[in-house]
């Protein structure tokens, strides 16, 4: 997509590493021009919300708890994360104020100064009016046939959590929406998907089978990049019913060739998923919300390289004076065994070029996904300075958490 953010170095760093230890280099925050439509498409969620509290979190960010009011896209999160430095595109968020947020990311929804608009301002009023027009209920259109452009056909890769469903051969983007054959839900996600010819209705329902067999990477379709295609789309008032509810507001389904195509996002969200679109890799990730997941949510810990090198240390054991980890550099083939190493804990505190070499990261490990957690500064200092407290933290690693951290922030109280 043209006109992408060009000068937003800080923004890119935060999206990729905003829970890891960010090197505190000073630079001015700026970005190139974007269109309203580009901002809409790349946001994970767009909503208005009142800020009820703001907490400082490690490494140099703020987590703002919000009460959602109106949602224009996606599902509004319970909190948003931003940098605490305006030079690094941090948004100035005040308790008690109501904002229009364009959040990015799923488990740790990030907002920059460009994504946060005080609701009483002229800019926010113009945006909310544009969003209302953009998302208003579509009026029924008469049956017709149109020529439309199919973008990124063969390039869109779909994941169910970390399960790679491969590149979708027939899926594409048109009219700012991702379309998939309705059979995609039965063939790739194992939902029931049926076509009722008499009612001209697609019926997609739930399934008890979501235990995926991992696909053989050698048989997954490779990406196929080419110029947008002009295809014929026959619109004939096709209805979409998901879990016994007929969808009222959605981009129109249509017939092209011998396939019926439906908009992916509206169906996936009605099935209970949160949809993440990764523009740079043309990837769609379907996330099951944390509260809907069954099974244990175990605590895990890693250290992320903070010196510009790729890789991380996956922690297996933590004691008062030692730490055992497996070092992962980049993407290793699955058949390569990484042996554990045990070193004094002080190794984690070493600096390189004036900066801490590693930044700490906690997350919840589950069957279908990992959820990153925010960390309070007090917890970090306690881990680094108190050997007996490190024993407590180490005893909790690999164990189910008794309760989920409030607002995703891990504190000292979670280990008492």
Strands lying side by side in the sheet with 358-365: 341-344, 322-328, 312-318, 298-305, 358-365, 370-375, 409-410
Q: Which of 375, 138, 154 is nearest to 266 (CA)?
A: 138
What does the alpha-carbon distance between residue 250 and residue 267 come to, in Å, rounded to a whole number?
9
- In whole numbers, what is the pLDDT of the chain averaged over residues? 84
**Predicted local confidence at residue 362, as pLDDT:** 95
Tokens of residue 393, six digits = 């933290």
What are the pLDDT digits (tens) for 14-60?
A: 333 333 333 334 446 888 888 998 898 889 899 999 999 999 999 88
**Predicted local confidence at residue 160, as pLDDT:** 81
Band the pLDDT of 211: cuts 50, 70, 90: low
Band the pLDDT of 222: cuts 50, 70, 90: low
What are the pLDDT digits (tens) for 139-167?
A: 667 889 999 999 998 889 888 877 788 88
Cα 146 versus chain centre, distance: 34
Residues of the chain with pLDDT > 70: what percent? 84
| Span 259-278, average pLDDT | 89
| Span 374-400, average pLDDT | 95
Residue 122 has pLDDT above 90, yes or no: yes
Residue 71 has pLDDT above 80, yes or no: yes
Inter-axis angle of helices 377-385 and 387-396, to 10 degrees?
110
Band the pLDDT of 294: cuts 50, 70, 90: low
Cβ 311 vs Cβ 330: under 8 Å? yes
| Span 389-414, average pLDDT | 90
Residue 290 has pLDDT above 80, yes or no: no
| Span 76-101, average pLDDT | 93
Which uninterrupted H or E stretch holds 124?
A: helix 122-135
**Predicted local confidence at residue 404, as pLDDT:** 77
Tokens of residue 281, six digits = 């890799």
**Predicted local confidence at residue 138, as pLDDT:** 66
Phi and psi for 14 in degrees, rounded to 5?
-65, -40
Asked if the bond preceding 272 is cis, omega within 30° of 0, the reply is: no
**Predicted local confidence at residue 403, as pLDDT:** 79
Q: Which of 160, 162, 218 is nearest to 189 (CA)?
A: 160
Q: pTM for the whole thing?
A: 0.74
Q: Is 292 exposed, middle or buried (0-12, 13-18, 19+ CB in 10 A)?
A: exposed
* Residues 279, 284, 290, 294, Cα dihedral to 10°: -160
């Amino acid at each position: 997509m043209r006109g992408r953010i060009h000068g937003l170095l800080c923004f890119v760093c935060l999206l990729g590493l905003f829970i890891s230890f960010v090197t505190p280099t000073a630079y001015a925050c700026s970005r190139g021009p974007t269109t309203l439509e580009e901002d809409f498409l790349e946001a994970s969620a767009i909503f208005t919300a009142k800020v009820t509290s703001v907490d400082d979190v490690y490494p140099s960010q703020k987590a703002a708890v919000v009460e959602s009011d109106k949602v224009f896209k996606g599902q509004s999160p319970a909190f948003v994360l931003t940098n605490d430095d305006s030079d690094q595109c941090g948004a100035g968020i005040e308790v008690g104020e109501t904002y229009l947020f364009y959040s990015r990311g799923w488990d740790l929804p990030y907002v920059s100064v460009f994504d946060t608009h005080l609701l009483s301002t002229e800019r926010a009023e113009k945006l909310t009016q544009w969003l209302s027009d953009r998302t208003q209920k579509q009026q029924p259109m008469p049956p017709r046939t149109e020529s439309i452009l199919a973008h990124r056909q063969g390039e869109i890769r779909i994941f169910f959590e970390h399960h790679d469903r491969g590149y979708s051969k027939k899926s594409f983007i048109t009219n700012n929406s991702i379309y998939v054959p309705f059979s995609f839900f039965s063939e790739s996600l194992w939902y029931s998907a049926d076509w009722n010819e008499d009612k001209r209705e697609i019926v997609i329902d739930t399934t008890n089978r979501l235990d995926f067999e991992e696909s053989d990477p050698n048989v997954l379709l490779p990406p196929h990049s080419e110029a947008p295609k002009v295809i014929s789309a026959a619109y004939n008032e096709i209805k979409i019913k998901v879990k016994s509810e007929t969808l009222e507001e959605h981009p129109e389904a249509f017939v092209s060739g011998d396939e019926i195509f439906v908009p992916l996002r509206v169906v996936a969200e009605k099935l209970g998923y949160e949809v993440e679109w990764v523009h740079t890799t043309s990837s769609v990730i379907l996330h099951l919300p944390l509260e809907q997941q069954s099974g244990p949510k175990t605590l895990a810990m890693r250290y992320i390289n903070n010196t510009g090198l790729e890789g991380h240390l996956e922690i297996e054991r933590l004691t008062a004076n030692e730490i055992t980890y497996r070092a992962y550099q980049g993407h290793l083939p699955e058949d390569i065994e990484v042996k554990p190493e045990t070193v004094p804990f002080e190794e984690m505190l070493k600096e390189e070029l004036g900066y801490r070499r590693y930044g700490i990261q906690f997350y919840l490990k589950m069957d279908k996904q990992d959820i990153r957690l925010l960390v309070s500064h007090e917890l970090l200092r306690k881990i680094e300075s108190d050997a007996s407290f490190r024993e407590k933290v180490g005893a909790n690693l690999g164990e189910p958490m008794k309760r989920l951290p409030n607002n995703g922030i891990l504190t000292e109280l979670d280990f008492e």
